[in-house]
């Protein structure tokens, strides 16, 4: 059976005046894709080509820093800081800027990596994270409208923190040949928006268990629902398993902006609970869930969000 294709959806800003007919069409396509696969590809023009080139140059500068400097990006919150040198994923390395849409967040990170300063890095990171946050907000407003849950979505938007992760995958060495970039997993975030430099590798697992290869396209941003969105939507939105398998001889650089919900209990909106959709998940705190994910039970579980808070 040939695997299905992921939806490529036009998010050009000129077509997205809220509630216009093009907005409604985009909203319907996006919701269909989120419920079916938990992911879609947004063609988004909120990041100029110039910024796109500049942020990947900045990413290369960052990864070229000595490992001991990159290790300074140690953050207590699980999956927020430096990850790399992992024996089961030797090709993978990543760093994260906490609160990346704030000047303070970006300045803190930049100073840590370049104590003598690196103004252009900071500027590019902030511009990029804000442009991606705009796309996140557009998608959230579509979810809000489609389910009729304005108040709950606005509250989530007000409690959304953005962690911008710089990710790099080396090419497998010819003699070793293990092409695994990142092990199959579901995301721990509410949502993630991923942008790459058009080097293949990302694969998404369908609900039926087939792996779809994501074709790299220019100006495309992969919007992917995480565990927390799945639970919050009472299981309506899917959180897909995904992985990276390296191919060819080009390194892969990607940027993933992960949303975490801070200071607000995750609670399924009443509108998403009815006779046909009984409440599937208990209320929970996103950050407590992150700590659960690094317990041995959380690491062993095939669907950690279900083991954490599903109502049996
Ligand atoms: O780099 C990619 O394409 C995927 C990264 C990813 O899935 C993650 O960091 O959670
Ligand atoms: Fe992921």
What digits encode the pLDDT tens for the residues 226-240?
999 999 999 999 999
What ligand 1 atom has the least distance to the C-alpha of 224?
A: 7
Position 177 scores a pLDDT of 66
From the CA of 239, which ligand is nearest? 2
Confidence at residue 178, expressed as pLDDT on a 0 to 100 scale: 78
Tell me the C-alpha to C-alpha distance, in Å, between residue 10 and each of 4, 42, 46, 215: 19, 6, 12, 16
Query: Which atom of ligand 1 is closest in space to residue 167's alpha carbon?
Result: 1
Domain that holds residue 150: 8-270
Question: Is residue 295, in this structure, part of any structural domain at all?
Answer: no
Number of domains in the chain: 1
Q: In the prediction, which pLDDT does 312 show?
A: 83
DSSP for 193-246 reads EEEE-S---EEEE-TTS-EEEPPP-TTEEEEEE-HHHHHHTTTSS----EEEE-
* pTM exceeds cut of 0.95: yes
Least Cα distance to 228 among 278, 131, 156, 163 occurs for: 156
Q: Is the ipTM of this structure higher than 0.95?
A: yes
pLDDT (average), residues 48-54: 97
The pLDDT > 90 percentage for the chain reads: 92
Residue 25 domain flag: yes
Residue 274 has pLDDT above 70, yes or no: yes
Evaluate whether residue 288 is within a structural domain. Answer: no
Alpha-carbon span 82 to 97, nearest angstrom:
10
In a domain, 296, yes or no: no
| Residue from 170, 256, 259, 260 to probe ligand 1 pocket by mutation (most atoms less than 8 Å from CB) | 256
CB under 6 Å to ligand 1: residues? 167, 182, 187, 194, 196, 202, 242, 244, 254, 256
Q: Supply the CATH number for residue 128's domain.
A: 2.60.120.330
pLDDT score at 19: 83
**What pLDDT is attached to residue 172?**
87
CA-nearest of 239, 231, 218 to 56 is: 218
Report the atom number in ligand 1 closest to the C-alpha of 187: 10
In a domain, 284, yes or no: no
- For residue 282, being part of any structural domain is answered with no
pLDDT of residue 151: 95
- On whether residue 251 sits in a domain, the answer given is yes
Predicted confidence band of residue 124 (pLDDT cuts 50, 70, 90) = very high
Asked, for residue 297, whether it belongs to a domain, the answer is: no
């Amino acid at each position: 059976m040939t695997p299905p294709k992921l939806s490529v959806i036009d998010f050009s800003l000129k077509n997205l005046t809220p509630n216009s007919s093009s907005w409604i069409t985009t909203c319907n396509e996006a919701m269909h894709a989120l419920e079916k696969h938990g992911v879609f590809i947004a063609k988004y023009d909120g990041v100029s080509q110039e910024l796109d080139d500049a942020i990947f140059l900045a990413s290369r500068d960052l990864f070229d820093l000595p490992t001991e400097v990159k290790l300074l990006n140690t953050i207590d919150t699980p999956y927020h800081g430096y990850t790399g040198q992992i024996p089961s994923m030797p090709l993978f390395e990543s760093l994260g800027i906490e609160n990346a849409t704030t000047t303070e967040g970006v300045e803190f990170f930049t100073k840590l990596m370049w104590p003598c300063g690196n103004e252009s890095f900071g500027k590019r990171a902030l511009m990029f994270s804000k442009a991606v946050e705009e796309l996140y907000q557009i998608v959230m407003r579509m979810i809000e409208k489609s389910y009729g849950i304005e108040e709950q979505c606005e509250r989530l938007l007000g409690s959304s923190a953005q962690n911008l992760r710089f990710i790099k995958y080396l090419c497998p060495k010819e003699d070793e040949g293990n092409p695994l970039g990142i092990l199959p997993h579901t995301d721990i975030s509410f949502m993630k928006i991923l942008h790459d430099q058009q080097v293949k590798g990302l694969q998404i697992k369908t609900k039926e268990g087939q792996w779809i290869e994501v074709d790299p396209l220019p100006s495309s941003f992969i919007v992917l629902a995480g565990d927390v969105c799945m639970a919050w939507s009472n299981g309506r939105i899917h959180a897909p398993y995904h992985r990276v398998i390296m191919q060819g001889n080009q390194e892969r650089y990607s940027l993933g902006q992960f949303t975490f919900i801070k200071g607000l209990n995750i609670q399924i909106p009443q509108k998403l609970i009815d006779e046909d959709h009984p409440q599937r998940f208990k209320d929970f705190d996103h950050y407590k869930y992150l700590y659960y994910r690094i317990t041995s039970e959380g690491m062993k579980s095939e669907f950690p969000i279900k083991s954490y808070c599903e109502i049996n």
